[in-house]
């Protein structure tokens, strides 16, 4: 075979592939174990893929909309999305955020929350501009920021995975363009305390006003409607003129594969028109063009539909009680479908190996910027949790014995 010379893959993508390798390894190892032992003998807690399906009424809406489909419904549309969909989103957002002046001009429909974050970063970042992330964070943020020439600055949360406001403020430089918060959080399941987010919002407005240059508080909140306790989910939009929301229907309607979400701009942000115009063009320049047309027609008929939260809540109780009984320690997860316990000895990769030897797949915390923990996704069938709990207990005992605690 002729020598093909150097790899066609860019240095940027080589680095992205290298940094994703632990996820790939986990995935490949999972497949290998499933082939050897059979899928039902492998306990896979590594994926954040919704396990609770959309409600049956959602299917009825799909059928109805498909039946009414006209030839013109499948063409390109205004990049920001259909007006009736944006009005529906705005109406719900007025209630959620308690802001009467949210209207369709605040809404850009996107390809999931990920599409929203990408068009937002594309719109605000010049090369070398900084975005502050709070660790532990959703690992894809690193790529979303770097895709558009930005530089990530990581600020750890406190011992309860809550934002450390002074540390965040100390990390803000002239190049900082946004602070990203994610509550309920992936990977911890923690809901950020409302008073902390409100105070952070005040500080962001103050800094932006003092320096006369924008600084945004971006709330990535696809798990907003997946909260199982009486924790109050804060509104970054209400707390801060520079607050914006990127979110989706991936989790609360179980539509992750349909790629439908939106960016919600702040009605009180004076330069909102500039940002809206940039987002509208970014959807095109990045090749998304517009959010999926069919889903945009479906959504306004969905009212307040959501997946059966009771199923996630039951999983959460089962796994949190079981893990705590076995001796795992973690702050109480209020929402989403993840727990993030600490591991004995602090070596998260070694601990994931111990679990893997028992055919239990989890993800090391270092992938989320926080070594010493593992992420367990409980978006699985309850019997997977029931059968895996003794294995979690065994792995903890094995690690404790190794570290002289057993
Ligand atoms: N943000 C967080 C915190 C997530 O966990 C996810 C998906 O898992 C996303 C964003 C991406 O969401 P979407 O599928 O709507 O693009």
Digitized pLDDT (tens) for each residue of the chain, 406 residues in all? 667 789 999 999 999 888 887 767 777 888 889 999 998 999 999 988 899 999 999 999 999 999 999 999 999 999 999 999 999 999 999 999 999 999 999 999 999 999 999 999 999 999 999 999 999 999 999 999 999 999 999 999 999 999 999 999 999 999 999 999 999 999 999 999 999 999 999 999 999 999 988 999 999 999 999 999 999 998 999 999 999 999 999 999 999 999 999 999 999 999 999 999 999 999 999 999 999 999 999 999 999 999 999 999 999 999 999 999 999 999 889 999 999 999 999 999 999 999 999 999 999 999 999 999 999 999 999 999 999 999 999 999 999 888 765 4
Atom of ligand 1 nearest to the CA of 251: 15
The residue among 132, 172, 186 whose CA lies nearest residue 154 is 132
Task: Give me ligand 1 centre to Cα 209, in Å.
Answer: 31
Atom of ligand 1 nearest to the CA of 182: 3
Please state the pTM of the whole predicted model: 0.96
Identify the pLDDT of residue 405.
57
Task: Give me ligand 1 centre to Cα 222, in Å.
Answer: 6
Judge residue 20's burial from the number of C-beta atoms within 10 Å of its C-beta, 0-12 exposed, 13-18 middle, 19 or more buried. Answer: middle
Identify the pLDDT of residue 201.
98
Tell whether omega for the bond before 248 is within 30 degrees of 0, i.e. cis.
no
Task: Give me ligand 1 centre to Cα 187, in Å.
Answer: 11
Query: Which one of 115, 186, 221 would you pick to mutate in the ligand 1 pocket, going by the greatest count of ligand atoms within 8 A of its CB?
Result: 186
Query: Which one of 141, 248, 337 would you pick to mutate in the ligand 1 pocket, going by the greatest count of ligand atoms within 8 A of its CB?
Result: 248
C-alpha 381, offset from chain centre: 21
Query: Which one of 161, 186, 222 would you pick to mutate in the ligand 1 pocket, going by the greatest count of ligand atoms within 8 A of its CB?
Result: 222
User: Does ligand 1 come within 6 angstroms of the Cβ of 114?
Assistant: yes
Ramachandran sector of residue 98 (left: φ over 0; alpha: ψ -120 to 50; beta: rest): left
Decide if 97 contacts 238 (C-beta within 8 A): yes
Identify the pLDDT of residue 406.
45
Task: Give me ligand 1 centre to Cα 249, in Å.
Answer: 10
Tokens of 97: 């955020």
Task: Give me ligand 1 centre to Cα 113, in Å.
Answer: 6
Strands 261-264 and 243-248: antiparallel
Task: Give me ligand 1 centre to Cα 81, in Å.
Answer: 20
């Amino acid at each position: 075979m002729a020598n093909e010379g150097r790899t066609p893959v860019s240095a940027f993508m080589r680095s992205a592939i290298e940094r994703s390798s632990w996820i790939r390894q986990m995935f490949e190892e999972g497949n290998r174990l499933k082939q050897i032992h059979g899928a039902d003998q492998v306990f896979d807690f590594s994926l954040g893929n919704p396990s609770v399906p959309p409600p049956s009424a959602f299917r009825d809406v799909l059928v109805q909309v498909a039946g009414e489909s006209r030839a013109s419904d499948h063409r390109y549309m205004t990049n920001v999305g259909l007006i009736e969909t944006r009005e529906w989103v705005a109406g719900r957002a007025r209630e959620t955020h308690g802001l009467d002046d949210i209207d369709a001009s605040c809404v850009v429909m996107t390809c999931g929350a990920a599409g929203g974050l990408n068009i937002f970063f594309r719109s605000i970042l010049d090369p070398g501009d900084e975005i502050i992330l709070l660790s532990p964070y959703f690992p894809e943020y690193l790529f979303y920021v770097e895709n558009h020439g930005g530089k990530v600055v990581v600020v750890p949360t406190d011992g309860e995975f809550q934002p450390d406001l002074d540390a965040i403020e100390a990390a803000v430089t002239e190049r900082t363009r946004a602070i990203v918060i994610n509550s309920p959080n992936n990977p911890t399941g923690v809901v950020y305390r409302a008073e902390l987010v409100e105070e952070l919002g005040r500080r962001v407005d103050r800094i932006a006003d003092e320096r006369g240059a924008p600084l945004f508080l971006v709330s990535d909140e696809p798990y907003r409607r997946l909260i199982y306790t009486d924790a109050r989910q804060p509104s970054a939009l209400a707390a801060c003129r520079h607050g914006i929301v990127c979110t989706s229907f991936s989790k609360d309607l179980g539509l992750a594969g349909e790629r439908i979400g939106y960016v919600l701009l702040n009605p009180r942000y004076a330069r909102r028109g500039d940002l809206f115009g940039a987002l509208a063009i970014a959807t095109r320049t990045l090749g998304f063009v517009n959010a999926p047309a069919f889903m945009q027609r479906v959504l306004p008929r969905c009212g307040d539909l959501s997946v059966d939260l009771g199923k996630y809540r039951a999983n959460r109780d089962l796994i949190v009680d079981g893990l705590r009984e076995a001796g795992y320690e973690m702050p109480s997860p209020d929402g989403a479908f993840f727990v993030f316990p600490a591991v004995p000895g602090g070596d998260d990769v070694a601990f994931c190996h111990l679990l893997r030897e028992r055919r239990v797949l989890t993800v090391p915390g270092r992938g989320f910027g926080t070594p010493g923990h593992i992420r367990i996704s409980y978006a699985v069938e309850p019997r997977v949790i029931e059968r895996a709990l003794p294995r979690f207990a065994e792995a903890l005992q094995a690690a404790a014995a190794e570290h002289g605690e057993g």
